[in-house]
Amino acid sequence: MASLREDASYYTERYRPQYHFSTPVGNLADPNGLVFYKGEYHLFHQKNGTWAHAVSKDLLHWEHLPIALERDHLGQALSGSVVVDEKDTSGLFGGKPGLVAIYTNTEGGEAQSIAYSKDDGRTWERYVGNPVIPNTGMKDFRDPKVFWHEETAKWVMVVSTNQTVSFYHSDNLIDWAFASQFGAEEGLHAAVWECPDLFRLPVDGDEDNQKWVLHVSVGDNDETNGSTAQYFVGEFDGTAFTNDNDAAEVLITDIGQDFYAAQTFANLDGRTVWLGWMANWRYPYQSPTDPWMGAMSIPRELGLYTNSNGQVRLRQKPISELDTIYAKQQDFAPFDVANEATPLDFKGTTYRFTAEVSWEDLREFGLRLRHGNGVESLLGFDGEYQKVFLDRTNAGLETIIDRNGQPFPFGQRYEADYDAKRGFMKLDVLVDESSIEWFINDGELTFTSLIYTDPTNAGIEWYADGGSIHVQHAQAIHLHNVWRARVTEGQLERIVTNEETVRLEIGETRELIADLKPDYNVGEEVIEWGSSDEDIVTIIDETERGVMIAAVGQGSAEVVAREQKNRLEKRIRVYSTGEGEQ
Determine the longest span between alpha carbons in the chain, in angstroms.
80
CA angle at 109 for the pair 108 and 112, rounded to the nearest 5°: 110
Distant-in-sequence, close-in-space partners of 459: CB < 8 Å, separation ≥ 6: 343, 344, 346, 347, 368, 370, 371, 372, 376
Work out whether the CA dihedral 183, 188, 190, 194 comes out positive or negative.
Answer: negative
Q: What is the DSSP letter of 322?
A: G
The amino acid present at 470, given as its one-letter code, is H
Helix (H, G, I), strand (E, B) or coil at 129: coil
**What's the rounded Cα separation, in Å, for the pair 378 and 392?**
6
397-401 long-range contacts, Cβ below 8 Å, gap at least 24? 397/288, 397/451, 397/452, 397/453, 400/283, 400/286, 400/287, 400/288, 401/283, 401/286
Helix (H, G, I), strand (E, B) or coil at 159: strand
Q: How far is C-alpha 407 from the geometric centre of its chain's CA atoms?
A: 23
Distant-in-sequence, close-in-space partners of 354: CB < 8 Å, separation ≥ 6: 426, 427, 428, 429, 473, 474, 475, 477
Helix (H, G, I), strand (E, B) or coil at 324: helix
**What's the rounded Cα separation, in Å, for the pair 426 and 223?**
30
User: Residue 44's beta-bridge partner residues?
Assistant: 32, 53
CA angle at 574 for the pair 529 and 452, rounded to the nearest 5°: 90
Catalytic annotation on 30? yes
In this structure, the dihedral spanned by the alpha carbons of residues 339, 345, 347 and 351, taken in order and rounded to 10 degrees, is: -90
Q: Which of 30, 391, 402, 515 is catalytic?
A: 30
Active centre residues (catalytic): 30
